[in-house]
Amino acid sequence: MNIVGRRKLWFIISLIVIIPGTISLILWGLKPGIDFTGGQEIEVSGNTNQSEVRAIVAKSEVADITVTTSGNNRLLIRYSNQGRGDSEAIHQAIKANLAAQNIQETAFSSVGPTVSRDITRNALLSVFIASLAIICYIAFAFRKTPPPLSSWSFGVTAIIAVLHDVLLVLGVFSLLGHFFGIQVDSLFVTAILTVIGFSVHDTIVVYDRIRENLRRYNKPFEELVNDSILETFARSINTSLTVIMVLLAFFLFGGESIKFFILALLIGIFSGTYSSIFNAAPLLVVYNNWKIKRSKKGGAKNLKPTKA
């Protein structure tokens, strides 16, 4: 099987999958939950007629009311009441109005504006620092890699594959947000960071094999990368399969409150497996070829040629 040889096909598949979500991301962005905007969220059980419940909440003159279903006979009511007086009094009034209609509150969250600002800042910062830390770690772990590639190229290509996965998850949630009102919360950021960790985890196993084979064989780089991918193929698929099995069980039977967290993980881990095999390792070859082309002009030697 020649995976590296058909790398253009894999890159195109990746682009096709990523583009709709990315467009959605640019046009509509993500739908931020109360963790990022501040506001209040009530989960209720009982009467689950969305428009009725909405009307009850609207009596309290709060803004940005959304009512979405949350599993069996549950509704999620979100609203913002910033600058509208005592938020606890508003909550109590809504709760009392709902109780009069036999609707019971099962969960309640309230996030203030300063906290939501902190969460947003930390979320962006943590994703950035995680990427940076991982590039550095890979560069360090692969510092003794034999030529042709520098250890930094491993780190950078691994992060490009990670970006692919993150973009896909963000894109899917942007579409879900626009068409189904699915909001993202701090748990979503957790999912993104986990996907980053897992994607790199997967890529490192392939890269580790490339490093090892570079020491053992003197083959054209492209062939060597392809062999390394094939040698780790069963492992990549089997590992992802076991993780996906467990996540799928949680997605189907694990309760509503983490459903979208699990969905983000599922998409990200599926994508992470694909990108490790079909993007990350072929990218190393692309990078190497580009370097050879450039150095031929400069007349540098000492690089292994690759098959055309």
252-291 positions binding other proteins, by CB under 8 A = 252-255, 257-258, 261-262, 265
Residue 11 makes contact with other proteins by CB under 8 A: no
Asked whether the beta carbons of 172 and 267 are under 8 A apart, the reply is: yes
For other proteins, which stretch binds (CB under 8 A), given 3-11, 47-55, 173-181, 198-206?
A: 198-206
Residue 209 makes contact with other proteins by CB under 8 A: yes
Residue 46 makes contact with other proteins by CB under 8 A: no
Q: What's the min distance (Å) between Cβ of 170 and other proteins?
A: 17
Q: What's the min distance (Å) between Cβ of 43 and other proteins?
A: 7
Secondary structure (H, E, C), 159-227: HHHHHHHHHHHHHHHHHHHHHHCCCECHHHHHHHHHHHHHHHHHHHHHHHHHHHHHHHCCCCHHHHHHH
- Of 198 and 306, the one with the shorter C-beta distance to other proteins is 198
How far apart CA 60 and CA 93 sit, in angstroms, is 7
86-145 positions binding other proteins, by CB under 8 A = 88, 92, 104-112, 114-115, 118-119, 122-123, 125-126, 129-130, 133-134, 137-138, 141
Which helix (H) or strand (E) is 68 found in, with range? strand 63-69
The runs of H, that is alpha helices, within the chain are: 7-27, 34-37, 50-58, 87-100, 113-141, 151-180, 186-216, 221-253, 259-274, 281-298
Cβ neighbours for 138, distance < 8 A, ≥ 6 positions apart: 151, 154, 155, 158, 200, 204, 207
Q: What's the min distance (Å) between Cβ of 156 and other proteins?
A: 15
Residue 208 makes contact with other proteins by CB under 8 A: yes
Positions that interact with other proteins (CB under 8 A):
35, 43, 88, 92, 104-112, 114-115, 118-119, 122-123, 125-126, 129-130, 133-134, 137-138, 141, 186-187, 189-190, 193-194, 196-198, 200-202, 204-205, 208-209, 212, 231-232, 234-235, 238-239, 241-243, 245-250, 252-255, 257-258, 261-262, 265
